[in-house]
């Protein structure tokens, strides 16, 4: 487990994440923040909306693939 500290609206929050996820999380956070040290509330909301949209898009792709696979199997 790895502890990660994030600054939001000038307040620090420390969270504990599984090691591999922590690395991915920090990589995503760095892409979003650039060289900044923390987020304001609007930036946090924007990041959440973007990640939610990314998840929604991936979910749709997986769902569509499942439907295509199911249709192929039913034909075969």
Q: Name the CA dihedral angle for 13, 16, 17, 22, rounded to a multiple of 10 degrees.
A: 50
Where in the chain are the domains? Answer: 2-75
Kindly state the average pLDDT of the residues 10-28: 96
Q: What is the pLDDT of residue 39?
A: 93
Can you give the pLDDT at residue 32? 86
State both tokens at 38. Answer: 């923390």
For the whole model, what pTM was predicted?
A: 0.76
């Amino acid at each position: 487990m790895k502890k990660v500290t994030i600054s939001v609206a000038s307040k620090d929050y420390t969270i504990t994440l599984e090691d591999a996820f922590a690395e991915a999380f920090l990589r995503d956070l760095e892409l979003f923040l650039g060289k900044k040290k923390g987020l304001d509330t609007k930036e946090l909301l924007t990041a959440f909306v973007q990640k939610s949209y990314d998840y929604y898009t991936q979910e749709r792709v997986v769902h569509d693939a499942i439907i295509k696979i199911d249709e192929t199997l039913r034909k075969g």
